Structure 1
């Protein structure tokens, strides 16, 4: 159970000399963390330059060279962090190499082993060294690994929204050796999350899509260069016509029509390293298909189902983030909404109450119109309204009951997403649409078919909407809670006890565990994340 008071002070970043690793180091430094920076000895000049840049941000940094495929190097990084800064709270295992791509019959296992050493063994050793120290400290921690994505052809692009850096979930032709290293890294993260959750340690991986770095330049190059590490590989090697076609195809398949930047990934790592990710563990989060401008600065939001539980926590968190909020729930919950509105205004922002059933088109349109009328624009739409399942078998459930679940859980999202998107497209400033899904959208359960079906629908809607509206700078994501302590789950007494038995973090979730994730989805830091359904369950289900 990583405490809500978790406040990271010191971190290690491997593969930090350039590209994504460099961007991660700079972002964590901007967040106020001291850093131990690692890369190969031949990149010491680049590390020294980075140390100076980080020092200018008001934090401390130390360069430590070495091959993280060796246990002694990882042990040394951890001991240096503790010696220099006093503790270790965040470990980012970023080091990795790419494979230019060969089919299995033309690849010897001797060629596989170096990939496995750098991409998997280094993460195994880094995770282990960090975990031993974090367990010893007894204050929890964040371990974050990398799973990268190689690009082959346009067919590849069709699997992006169902892949975990697709090579971590779906292997690609002529990339068997590389894909295996990323499958194994994903497995390591899931196992580690379950083993170390009891110590308050979360373990997650970030899964970049096509990011403009030296590694992606290699994939577009006609040869695998023997590069001077102090010179940009992208600058040294002319891209082939075939490689540029891959780049163009990626841009066509990307929802928001641009290639990613290292900073897009660094912002996601910043979230994983923060207290807001405390109930997210064992997950592999895609960073690959959006383009909401980096200067996106949300001011106004709508939260449906806001009277209690998760919705209430989301409204309060967005208010703390500085957003004015339109609060919606059923008319019978007017008193609770009014009370929440008063609490929201104590945070220095405005609040408006708009009661009504969001399964009605007119109510969704009215909420959006009210937001624009009172605050001037709509930047964030959170479709949180929903109902929980009753334990009932399929044969005992008339379809009228199924329709009720679809109306409240799915139709309300469809109408809310649509009303918000129309306004955001009209504004031409991008936006964030966020839906309430569930772990039941990933794997259905017996005795809960109507509920599960409605949440599968939300997941599908989220993916489709992300692809349709990405061109307008709108990201669309959903949060997938596990067992959260709210009035909606009060009756699930036995189920809660069972849940604690399998939950890696050994506690039930709180509404604030969800609101922290929604805060991230609503921010500019999520600008290259879209179409995702993020599991927030303390380490029970893995994606």
Structure 2
């Protein structure tokens, strides 16, 4: 049985990378960690660099250092460079929040699966998370002592939903990877956990017509808007997810590892 990862004794300024940090949940996480005293690397795709720089400006107003990087998490060399650039600019790496992810635009069953489309989702949600965990862990082991790897799963990683197989598979993979990596990295004082949001206000609103407009789908959204079901009402906001990540990134969470924690108003029980 793995022993607990002891609380880190590092007392200097801690540094976090947040991928997909230009908007939505990623932005909320970056701002919350900055408020917690972290210096931040805000990473997102090149097309969103202007948004990333706006987040950096907000972080700097909080009195923290921050950089904006345009690296693609599906490309191994770019993830490696993202970690190296962060360490060069900010001094170290203590927390990796592998938040970048995409959701499928077209709902379809397994019988209708477009494998190219499904694999494009897996490239970001699975491959990207693996690469972020890999290169962050290498850096954390090198610098010592310890660190935090935090991944973005979903309620769709805890329970399957009809016609959303590509996304559900990808987020279940994050959960599985998080368990495996926690066992491998515990000896290095690195904890590995994931957050599993339900439906988030800024991110999911545009998908409501797609979910509710297709016959036969008993989706998460159908259940959320069933006002007769207690604990399943409405959507959460990114700041609520950021609060959970804040704890997972903190020294106080040193005894918590390998977990995927739902934050969904009781929609899915883990």
TM-score by length of 1: 0.46
2:139 counterpart residue number: 423
| 1:319 aligned onto 2:34 | yes
1:107-146 paired onto structure 2 within 5 Å? none
The alignment of Structure 1 onto Structure 2 pairs a total of residues equal to 257
1:356 and 1:537 map into 2 onto residues whose CA distance is 30
1:500 is aligned to 2:216:
no
Is contact 1:292–1:431 with CA below 8 Å preserved after alignment?
A: no
Q: Determine the C-alpha separation between the residues in 2 that align with 1:507 and 1:296.
A: 40
Q: Distance in 2 between matches of 1:524 and 1:433?
A: 13
1:488 CA displacement: 4.5
Q: Deviations over 1:24-83 (max 9, x none)?
A: xxxxxxxxxxxxxxxxxxxxxxxxxxxxxxxxxxxxxxxxxxxxxxxxxxxxxxxxxxxx
- Tell me what 1:292 maps to: 6
- Secondary structure of 1:491's aligned partner: helix
Offset at residue 388 of structure 1 (A): 1.4
Q: Distance in 1 between matches of 2:183 and 2:250?
A: 19
Equivalent residue, structure 1, for 2:200: 484
**Whole-Å separation in 1 of the counterparts to 2:203 and 2:176:** 27
Matched, 1:524 2:251: yes
How far apart are residue 334 of structure 1 and its match? 1.0
In structure 2, what is the equivalent of residue 354 of structure 1? Answer: 69
Give me the TM-score of the superposition, normalised by structure 2: 0.91
- Relative distance call for 1:292 and 1:505 in structure 2 (3 A) is farther
Q: CA offsets, 1:378-401, max 9 Å, x none? A: 000000000113321111122111
Equivalent pair of 2:9/2:145 in contact (CA under 8 Å):
no
* Higher RCO (Cα < 8 Å, 6 or more apart): 2
Q: Does 1:542 align with 2:256?
A: no
Alignment of 1:91-490 (within 5 A): 253-254=1-2, 257=3, 290-293=4-7, 295-297=9-11, 299-389=14-104, 390-490=106-206
Give 3-state SS (helix, strand or coil) of 2:225's partner.
helix
CA contact (8 A) 2:125 2:171 kept: yes
SS at match of 2:233: coil
Residue 216 of structure 2 corresponds to: none
Instruction: For residue 496 of structure 1, report the CA deviation from its aligned partner.
Output: 4.0
Q: Is the 8 A contact 2:153 2:197 kept in 1?
A: yes
Q: Equivalent residues in 2 for 1:21-100 (5 A)? A: none
| Runs of 4+ with deviation above 3 angstroms | 294-298, 493-498
Alpha-carbon distance in structure 2 between the residues aligned to 1:398 and 1:497: 25
Deviation at 1:441, TM superposition (A): 1.0
Q: Aligned to 1:511, which of 217, 229, 238?
A: 238
Paired with 2:198 and 2:254, the residues of 1 have a C-alpha distance of 25
Structure 1 spans left out of the alignment, 5+ residues: 1-252, 258-289
Listed one character per residue, the Cα deviations across residues 129-161 of structure 1 (whole Å, up to 9, x for unaligned) are: xxxxxxxxxxxxxxxxxxxxxxxxxxxxxxxxx
- Residue-by-residue CA offset, 1:154-174 (whole Å, 9 max, x unaligned): xxxxxxxxxxxxxxxxxxxxx
The Cα shift of 1:420 comes to 0.1
Alpha-carbon deviation of 1:506?
2.8
